Structure 1
Amino acid sequence: MLEPIKVVVTGAAGQIAYSLLYQIGKGDVFGQDQPIIMHLLDIPAMMGVLEGVVMEMMDCALPLVRGIVPTADPAVGFGDVEAAFLVGAMPRKEGMERKDLLAANVKIFKVQGQALDKYAKKTVKVLVVGNPANTNALICAKYAPSIPKENFTAMTRLDQNRAQAQIAARLGVGIESVRNVLIWGNHSSTQYPDARHALVKKGAEEVKVTDALPDTAWLQDQFVTTVQKRGAAVIAARKMSSAMSAAKAAGDHMRDWWLGTSDGSFVSMGVISDGSYNAPSDVVFSFPVSIKNKQWTIVQGLAIDDFSRGKIEQTGQELVEERQEALAVCED
């Protein structure tokens, strides 16, 4: 059995964490042989609720959970952690635009970046879930200068999972039969879900989704808008933002980062941009990545058509604007 690792989840009394903590404790994220010490961080007002969450985690009797530390103190919460799920943020409510979230939430992630810099392991893997996730991750990295920027990522896996599910449903196949669906850019309504490089297994062979589904109009219109607006659709129906699916995606993202991707397969992650595919540099941009030894690499050489190029440019421009607004808020 391996030595236990310390993992922090912020917003630990909230809805996303309620689904996420069980996945982590059960071994679905870091592996079935990896013991965990769980640091559950939330604001002081939520400590009573968090006490109930701790009781439930204990009552799950999960063999891999070697300790649970509920706290409102960032020094304790981020102390020596090797993985961080930054979930806690002001949630988006019905009728809110993402930019309404930015001013409030970016300050939270400035403080958390400073705390990670001071207390976490320098090898910590940080996943930002709280929205606007891409720009929050950028700010978090900026205020944690002793930790490599590559260690800060934003979650676009929920969008990838949504897109993969839409393709599988359209083709009438199981979700496991579809791979390499991509999300480019921002976790927002400008994101670009791209099925042009995706593959689907039909019987014994694997074919391109665009060959199995030669419906360009659907792939460029309804598919894209359904994925882009799925979060808002969930809020409209549920009166609350996505929680169960967001937790599943957070677990998927960290599992692949921790354990790696298989040869020929890639996943979507918001990572610091180096300008690949003419995306703007120095923003956190969702690219296709492959992962080995806990290190992600942007997949290069994918053909980009004019439709895709326009979508990548649009979402990149939004991220540049968000960066400008976020930096202005942080410097106030």
Structure 2
Amino acid sequence: MSEPIRVVVTGAAGQIAYSLLYMIAKGDVFGPDQAVILHLLDIPPMMEVLQGVVMELADCALPLLRGVVPTADPAEAFKDVSAAFLVGAMPRKQGMERKDLLSANVKIFKVQGEALNEYAKKDVKVLVVGNPANTNALVCSKYAPSIPRENFTAMTRLDQNRAQAQIAAKAGVPVNQVYNVFIWGNHSSTQVPDASHAKVITGPNTAISAADAVKNEAWLLAEFIATVQKRGAAVIAARKMSSAMSAAKAAADHMRDWFRGTEPGKYVSMGVVSDGSYGAPKDVVFSFPVEIKNGKWSIVQGLPINDFYQQLLTATGKELEEEKAEAFSVINS
């Protein structure tokens, strides 16, 4: 058994964390031999609820869980952490505009960036889940200058998982037989779910394109994209609350792959600081297909992008530039 690593989860009394903490503590993320100490951050009014979460974690009797630190103090929460799940944010409610969400949340992520900069390990891996995740991740990175910018990522894995599930259902195969479905751009309704590189496993050592498996190009270019783009809103409409269980699973998937690597030839979607690849604007957090080795991600290069998808990439990039400008105007006002 290796030495415990410290992992912070913000918004730890909330719904996403309720599912996520169990996944982390039982070894789904960092591996079956990696002990963890959980730092649980939430706001002062949630401390009583958080104590209930602490009790439940104890009652799970999880061998890998070596300690729990519940706190409302960012200095204590971010002290010496190796991984950060930034879940806590004002949740999006039915009818709320993204601009309202942006204004409420950017100041939270400025404070958390400053706390990471001062207290966390310098190689900490940061995953922003709280929306608008891409721009929150950018804000966070700006206020943590001593931590490499590539260590700040935003979650688009939920969108990838949604896309993978849609294709699997349409092709009539288990979801683990679909791979290389990507999400480009923003975690918003402008995101670009791209099945043009996706593969469907049809037998031992045999895979065909998603287009050949689905046999419905019109669906792939219209209904499939719209369903994934609007899935979050559809969940809110049905549940009266935003996605929680599926978001927790996606956060676990994202951090697991970041720490443990991706399989050769299989890529995953991550929001990362853009270097301008595929014509994306630079200096925004943009979702790309990446591969991960030895804890380092790299953008997959050389994928052919046709005019249909390129137009969508341009639109989602424009939205991210607008969000960035608005976020920093809020901070500087």
* TM category, shorter: over 0.9
Residue 287 of structure 1 is matched in structure 2 by 288
Cα deviation for residue 211 of structure 1 reads 2.0
Cα distance in structure 2, aligned partners of 1:148 and 1:76: 22
Residue 210 of structure 1 is matched in structure 2 by 211
After TM superposition, list the pairs within 5 Å mapping 1:149-298 onto structure 2. 149-204=149-204, 205-298=206-299
**SS, match of residue 4 in structure 1:** strand
Cα distance in structure 2, aligned partners of 1:192 and 1:214: 20
Residue 319 of structure 1 is matched in structure 2 by 320
Cα distance in structure 1, aligned partners of 2:135 and 2:216: 34
**SS, match of residue 145 in structure 2:** coil
Residue 98 of structure 1 is matched in structure 2 by 98
Cα distance in structure 2, aligned partners of 1:27 and 1:88: 22
Paired residues, number: 332
> What are the superposed Cα offsets for residues 164-184 of structure 1, whole Å, 9 maximum, x if unpaired?
000000000001100000000
> What are the superposed Cα offsets for residues 136-193 of structure 1, whole Å, 9 maximum, x if unpaired?
0000000000000000000000000000000000000001100000000000000000
> What are the superposed Cα offsets for residues 8-37 of structure 1, whole Å, 9 maximum, x if unpaired?
000000000000000000100000000000
> What are the superposed Cα offsets for residues 204-230 of structure 1, whole Å, 9 maximum, x if unpaired?
311111222232210111000000000
Residue 53 of structure 2 is matched in structure 1 by 53
> What are the superposed Cα offsets for residues 120-149 of structure 1, whole Å, 9 maximum, x if unpaired?
000000000000000000000000000000
Deviates more, 1:198-207 or 1:119-128: 198-207
Residue 21 of structure 2 is matched in structure 1 by 21
Query: 2:139 matched to 1:142?
Result: no
Deviates more, 1:214-223 or 1:123-132: 214-223
Cα deviation for residue 97 of structure 1 reads 1.7
| Percent identity (aligned) | 73
Cα deviation for residue 43 of structure 1 reads 0.5
Cα distance in structure 1, aligned partners of 2:167 and 2:99: 30
Residue 117 of structure 2 is matched in structure 1 by 117
**SS, match of residue 297 in structure 1:** strand
Cα distance in structure 1, aligned partners of 2:190 and 2:217: 19
Residue 34 of structure 1 is matched in structure 2 by 34
Cα deviation for residue 248 of structure 1 reads 0.3
Cα distance in structure 2, aligned partners of 1:299 and 1:138: 21
Cα deviation for residue 89 of structure 1 reads 0.3
Cα distance in structure 2, aligned partners of 1:331 and 1:242: 31
Which structure 2 residue ranges, 5 or more long, are not aligned? none
Cα deviation for residue 232 of structure 1 reads 0.3
Cα distance in structure 2, aligned partners of 1:35 and 1:299: 32
**SS, match of residue 123 in structure 1:** coil
Query: 2:81 matched to 1:81?
Result: yes
Cα distance in structure 1, aligned partners of 2:178 and 2:88: 31
Residue 131 of structure 2 is matched in structure 1 by 131
Which structure 1 residue ranges, 5 or more long, are not aligned? none
Amino acid at match of 1:125: K
* Structure-2-length-normalised TM-score: 0.99
Cα distance in structure 2, aligned partners of 1:170 and 1:68: 43
